[in-house]
Amino acid sequence: MDLGLKNRVAFIAASSDGLGKSVALELAIEGAKIVICGRNKERLEKTKDEIRKQTGQELLALVGDLAVEEERERIIRETLQVHKSIDILVTNTGGPPAGKFEEFTDQDWQKAFHQLFFSAVGLINGFLPGMKAQHWGRIISITSTAVKQPINSLILSNSLRVSVVGLIKTLANELGKYNITVNNVMPGYTETERLRKLIESNPSLTAGKAEIPLGRFGKPEEFAAAVTFLASERASFISGVSLAVDGGWTKSIF
């Protein structure tokens, strides 16, 4: 199946490892031109080399923290200096720390807000004009199944990721006339470093595997395949959805 992604320009946030890295690799396999970013320069360069060796694609790798306005604006500016515009924006962040409500200060909430919500707003603001001008675009937000079914001890994530879903749904209504689709993808329990750390801090999460109808944790490449499809020409009539990639873990009907 030709997904129509050859030479499309894709910016994937928080892509030096984890789900972001898997999405960048999958899009590169399909022939897209990739921009990756992350806070750790060494890890980012390693990811760049790995994807280039596997796909033969050249990548732009930019170091910075997308939760910090000045760094985010610099990353957007440097991207647009190389690529006139981007076609595909995948917003993504690492998760805030686990814990109970009483364990977090106002500053913790503010930091999580900038990390989870405002980083997405800033990236969309930066890249949306180009998508509108070319009358084509894909905006895909990576959140969590926690937006539909809260996960114990993840109150920061449970609370603030829901706001991203509201943003995405509203943008889908506003941007359809520009031929821009906007969707949200919700990973469930997926075998990443983030999951390993969460299990270390909350061992009871290992029991979550038994609650997954498919009987196992997901693989990053399985999640990346879903995001890549939504970025493709084949998904041109899908917008405003929140797609769970969780092996059936989410129990809600909608």
User: pLDDT digit string (tens) for 152-206?
Assistant: 889 999 999 999 999 999 999 999 999 999 999 999 889 887 777 777 777 766 7
Look at residue 251 and tell me whether its pLDDT is greater than 90: no
User: pLDDT digit string (tens) for 6-16?
Assistant: 999 999 999 99
User: What is the spatial distance between Cα 107 and Cα 79, in angstroms, rounded to a whole number?
Assistant: 31
**Start-to-end C-alpha separation, the chain:** 29
Chain position carrying tokens 């038994």: 210
- Produce one character per residue of 199-229: b if its CB has 16 or more CB atoms within 10 Å, e if not: eeebeebeebeeebeeeebbebeebbebbbb
Output the pTM of the full model.
0.94
- What is the assigned CATH class of domain 9-245? alpha beta
User: pLDDT digit string (tens) for 172-183?
Assistant: 999 999 999 999
Look at residue 224 and tell me whether its pLDDT is greater than 80: yes
User: What is the spatial distance between Cα 93 and Cα 91, in angstroms, rounded to a whole number?
Assistant: 7
**pLDDT recorded at residue 203:** 74
- 238: helix, strand or coil: coil
Chain position carrying tokens 């990721």: 161
Mean pLDDT of the chain: 93
Q: What percent of the chain has pLDDT over 70?
A: 98
Q: From start to end of the chain, where are the E strands?
A: 9-12, 33-38, 59-63, 88-91, 137-142, 180-187, 242-245
